[in-house]
Structure 1
Amino acid sequence: MRDMTVTDATVTASKFSAQGVDVFYGDTHAIKGVDVEIPDNTVTAFIGPSGCGKSTFLRCLNRMNDTIDTARVTGTILLDNEDIHAPGVDPVQLRAKVGMVFQKPNPFPKSIYDNVAYGPRIHGLARNKAELDEIVETSLRRAALWEEVKDRLAAPGTGLSGGQQQRLCIARAIATGPEVLLMDEPCSALDPIATAQVEQLIDELRSRFSVVIVTHSMAQASRVSQRTAFFHLGELVEIGDTEHIFTTPSDPRTESYITGRIG
């Protein structure tokens, strides 16, 4: 696997650094020796055929695989040069720092306000109602949803449209003040208009966060990301500048996927 890090103009300081990461589900070797640097203030897209390991690796970054009984993760993953598997690292606190947005919008069966306020409440991020109100408004504004819901914050989040629900989930994810946003095919359940809104939001969010997105859409990866990683059969085949990956990939497997010959 060749990493184009040295020549990429888009690369900034690494937020995540992974070395020799393997993931096993029972006897199944799902991820094989992944080495990768994920920069800050950048959108990094993971692409590859279904079942190639891209979502599995994404879940390594906030230890979501810990919730699967048969999963075993080896290797080293550093967040800001600190090992996320070190003794004393609380996965709950890690997930406050590394937010996640899932494939299907999954708002809590609570009000719009309480969906966003939930994380700040359990992590003690607001000392009073005024501070909590400010966090909720700021998060909804950053998720480009405030103007649409500011007059109905007490209404159930489940009553919003699909695209609004996904932006509510993004607001919920950023309300705890994370530094990284993981997105696992966040637009696959949305219509084209809602997809365009979320893609625009992703582009705006990278000024504040490191964003990692798994997508089945190569067109989406080319639109929203500055860096692209291609996974195949559990291996990270190639990572580099998005334009480079899509126009002059270094590995023939990447070219075969981009041109539709595998996948």
Structure 2
Amino acid sequence: MDDVRSKVSAEEWQVRVDLAAAYRLVADYGWDDLVFTHISARVPGPEHHFLINPYGWLFEEITASSLVKVDLDGRKVMDSPHEINPAGFTIHSAIHAARADAQCVMHTHSLNGVAVSAQRQGLLPISQQSTLVLASLAYHDYEGIALRDEEKPRLVADLGDKTFLMLRNHGLLTVGATPADAFLAMYVFEAACTIQVRALAGGGELVPVNPEILAGVQRAASAVTRGLGGRLAWPGLLRRLDRRDPSYKT
């Protein structure tokens, strides 16, 4: 573990710690899917290098030193005994290559997220959380397990400049300038989906947000999405992790 830290810059080590924390938090909130989803982050510097989880590790096991450093083609650029999931990096590499601002890409298969992704109407404007997501939301139709490079341009085109992407019949995806930003966006996205599933299950008539209010949020989309940044909430989340198990930092 100390050996990895000695081989990377202080800036890369900080990204590793934050990314490992994001994995642990996704597990804590119950959004993980055993070993089958991924969070990636770009390594600071001129090289197009990225960090992603070792395939086969549970999210609750991820540490800063266990993360695998790869290039845009998913090839390891630093010695590691671990492999990565090629299907997982297909989605992530496409977004990282197209969006310089997408320094972190988070993808989940949460039950509520997949449930809403399978509903034809998609995310409904029925909660404050949903208005924040709808201000910067895109959709991508399901094309099977993401293994084919030919899907990349369609996925990138569908995402455009948005922060939130609903992968139909598949799950949720967020992008951010940092792991903190991507996590906070996913927190709101997941909350909006959970509220929708519960509201529909209640069986009563739903009360949508006034279209004028929704339009106002959409007009201020850039300010709204910046407001989801992790500067305020992230330190508290790290303190929670430290109280429970600080091993993510190793």
Structure whose residues are more often helix by fraction = 2
Class of the TM-score when normalised by the shorter of the 2 chains: under 0.3
After TM superposition, the score normalised by the length of structure 2 is 0.24
- Structure number with higher strand proportion: 1
